[in-house]
Amino acid sequence: MARKAAIPERVAEPIPRRPDQLDGRRVIRRIEEHLRHLHGLPAHGNRTFFYDQLVIAHLLAFFNPPLHSLRRIEDVFDLPAVRRRFGLRGAAKSTVADAQRLFDPQLLQPIFEDLKQRANLQPHDARLDQLTRQLTAVDGTFFAVAGRIAWAVYNRKSDDGVRRKTGRRGRTSKGNVRAHVHFDILRGVPEHFTLTGGQASEGGQLQTSLRPEHCYVLDRGFQSYALLGEIIQANSDFVVRLRKSARGTELEPRPLTAADRAAGVVRDTLVHVGWREDQTPALPPLRRIEVAVEGQDEPLVLLTSGLDLPAELIALLYQHRWQIELFFRWLKCMAHLEHFFSESPAGMTLQLYVTLIATLLIALETGARPSVYDFSLLSIAMSGLAPLEEVLAVAARRRAERERAARRRREKAAQKNQG
């Protein structure tokens, strides 16, 4: 039987572009060099569909939430005006679906890293400048997907602790994927992420991605003494909320300053964690800090390896963990990452990369953490309805108005508390 002739590899061909089409691409001008590099990579199979075209199609869908299916993306790129504006050919549904599965999402990592490094420090409490390590919040969030996606099936436990399956043929009605995110608190941008099935361990994912000179801020789901030991071994620090079941041996109390008490700190103690030496890794003495929380009967209990930091600063660090929760809210509610165009791990990871790249583009254009107002205005610029300069001017004016309103609310609250 004769062997099938090999399909020659497609080479990148220049795309005809009109001078006025750049008006629609101003939002993504910061990654033009990266897009040219992606265009130079081999095309998808024997089709003339390149990686940069896939990225632009995803960016257009990001800035236009109604484009929440591959069929709608195909329809948009069937419009000659859109193809001219973005310098692309068609984006057939089947081609895009196949490309998402075949293109390596890690090729987008250099774009993500480049944009992340350009992000400026955001306004923050000056006390955080005492830190010599990168302040990083770590957490995970679930995204619901179709139950037919075998690698993402996640059976939750019911109230009686028994795992149950629902649906026909023993399948669960829904699956879950989990994004494990490292969030740079001072820059207000994501630093690193991995995407797994919903059953993957958060602590295990952090353990494989530890970096030196970081200060990891963690919720109680990360309370694993083995993990905490790995963080110390990686030459980093942690601040983690302790579960009520956590046990330890108190070594000595530490004195509290007036600033500590003003921050709500009620106790600062040096401890050895764990109660069974045969089951607890050998850890150096750590600090157990209790912080009173308004409206709650029991204090917030934190464990940290930062022995030299003021207790008030430890309490402040944990308050900033909520920034990653706000970022998850941005992804799901504002950036509309509620529907994946692919069912493969590669395709979903690629879409999450593009979402984060688009978020960083908004942050770089506005010089601030992205808001729903910035998203709406940049979407107008992306569609070519208004020049980018005019859009940014309106965004800056609205941001100033919101900041003045927030300042007035804080002043009014302070006056009420004093009265």
Q: Residue 207: pLDDT above 50?
A: yes
Q: Residue 12: pLDDT above 70?
A: no
Lowest mean pLDDT among 136-140, 196-200, 275-279, 333-337: 275-279
What pLDDT is recorded for position 262?
93
Q: Residue 295: pLDDT above 50?
A: yes
Q: Residue 95: pLDDT above 80?
A: yes
What pLDDT is recorded for position 168?
44
State the Rg of the chain over Cα.
25
How confident is the model over 242-250, as a mean pLDDT?
A: 84
Cα distance between residue 31 and residue 312, in whole Å: 41
Q: What are 322-356's pLDDT values in tens digits?
A: 999 999 998 888 777 878 999 999 999 999 999 99
- Mean pLDDT is highest, among 202-216, 245-259, 328-342, for 202-216
Cα distance between residue 182 and residue 189, in whole Å: 9
Q: What are 24-70's pLDDT values in tens digits?
A: 577 888 999 999 999 888 766 656 788 998 999 999 999 998 888 99
What pLDDT is recorded for position 44?
62
What pLDDT is recorded for position 123?
81
The values of phi and psi at residue 163, to 5°, are -75, 130
SS3 per-residue string spanning the chain = CCCCCCCCCCCCCCCCCCHHHHHHHHHHHHHHHHHHHHHCCCCCCCCCCCHHHHHHHHHHHHCCCCCCCHHHHHHHHCCHHHHHHHCCCCCCHHHHHHHHHHCCHHHHHHHHHHHHHHCCCCCCCHHHHHCCCEEEEEEEEEEEEECCCHHHECCCECCCCCECCCCHHHCCCEEEEEEEEEEECCCCEEEEEEEEECCCCHHHHHHCCCCCCEEEEECHHHCCHHHHHHHHHCCCEEEEECCCCCCEEEEEECCCCHHHHHCCEEEEEEEEECCCCCCCCCCCCEEEEEECCCCCCCCEEEEECCCCCCHHHHHHHHHCCHHHHHHHHHHHHHCCCCCCCCCCHHHHHHHHHHHHHHHHHHHHHHCCCCCHHHHHHHHHHHCCCCCHHHHHHHHHHHHHHHHHHHHHHHHHHHHHHHC
Percentage of the chain beyond pLDDT 90 is 51
Whether residue 217 contacts residue 136, with contact meaning beta carbons closer than 8 Å, is answered with yes
Q: Residue 4: pLDDT above 50?
A: no
Q: Residue 401: pLDDT above 80?
A: yes
What pLDDT is recorded for position 140?
93
What pLDDT is recorded for position 288?
95
Q: What are 122-145's pLDDT values in tens digits?
A: 888 888 988 999 999 999 999 988
What pLDDT is recorded for position 89?
78
Cα distance between residue 386 and residue 27, in whole Å: 11
What's the whole-model pTM score?
Answer: 0.84
Q: Residue 266: pLDDT above 60?
A: yes
Cα distance between residue 123 and residue 131, in whole Å: 15
How confident is the model over 387-414, as a mean pLDDT?
A: 89
Of 199, 213, 311, 179, whose CA–CA distance to 258 is shortest?
311
What pLDDT is recorded for position 276?
59
Pairing mode, strands 174-184 and 134-146:
antiparallel
Going by pLDDT thresholds of 50, 70 and 90, the confidence category of residue 86 is confident
How far lies 269's CA from each of 20, 211, 289, in Å? 65, 27, 6
Average pLDDT, the chain: 84
Cα distance between residue 186 and residue 129, in whole Å: 9
What pLDDT is recorded for position 146?
84
